[in-house]
Amino acid sequence: MNGSRFSMVGKVAMVTGAASGLGLAISEVLAEAGAHVALADVDREGLNRAVGRLSAAGGRAEAVLLDVSDREAIRRRTDDLVARHGRLDAMVANAGVTAGPGYLTEAGQINAVNDDQWDRVLQINLTGVFATIQSAAKHMKVQRSGRIIAIASVAGLRSDVMCGYAYTATKSAVVNLVRQSAMELAAYDVMVNGIAPGPFRTNIASGRIRQPEVAAQFAAMVPLGRIADPEEIKGLALLLASPASSFMTGVTIPVDGGIMAK
């Protein structure tokens, strides 16, 4: 891909929540395009497996042990990456957690949401994303270039009966965080965009979406009639991380099999 508008050769990228699922798929496509990718995750063993997988495929990758609920840790890890490599070209704020089932079940109804659950989801899905964007912006403003991608959800663009209250609230907030930060950072030639996945086959919620009855419920929501594989986020992720997105900022793009078109 050297010489292509989609090339990431010579670029440095960081992806949070990169040990599995969408984060791993995004890390793979950035490495395939030539970037040096720092995979960040709280799962040490999964992280080491993921880095090994990218390295075995010829990619340049490193592991960054990181809990995104720790804002100072995000800033330190980002500063350290830039200190060692001299730049940061793409930051993907992907790490997130579920808020449990939606209101169709008694456990997901509004009266059942407890304070600890609400606070934990906000700390990771919103505050963690904010601190990730903030840590990248610090360096990208200085170098006057960069791409920031935040992983939202179609549950942040519309109501979603399958997702818990804190999840939909935080993903909606991420969409507006993308808009707000994009407006500030445009003056520095830093593009900020979001991706809003529909149902993907990942390990979130302990892989609940892999259960046949749950998978059938999610698939029924999708006009294409199926759940996506993490591989299917790669094309958009590479577009938004690469020079190909040079006139795109402040938008959150669904990858949802047609859900938002209904």
Q: Which residues are annotated as catalytic?
A: 167
Q: Cβ(76)–Cβ(134) under 8 Å? A: no
The 3-state DSSP class for residue 35 equals coil
Q: What is the rounded CA–CA span in Å between residue 176 and residue 70?
A: 22
Please report the DSSP string for 83-100 in residue order: HHHS---EEEE-------
Beta strands in 49-112 (DSSP E): 60-65, 90-93
Neighbours of 160 (CB within 10 A): 20
Q: Cβ(35)–Cβ(62) under 8 Å? A: no
Q: What is the rounded CA–CA span in Å between residue 175 and residue 34?
A: 28
Closest CA to 35 of 96, 95, 87: 87
Which are the contacts of 205, defined by CB distance < 8 A and separation ≥ 6? 98, 100
Sheet arrangement for strand 190-197: 60-65, 36-41, 12-16, 90-93, 146-151, 190-197, 252-255
Which are the contacts of 165, defined by CB distance < 8 A and separation ≥ 6? 99, 103, 108, 110, 113, 118
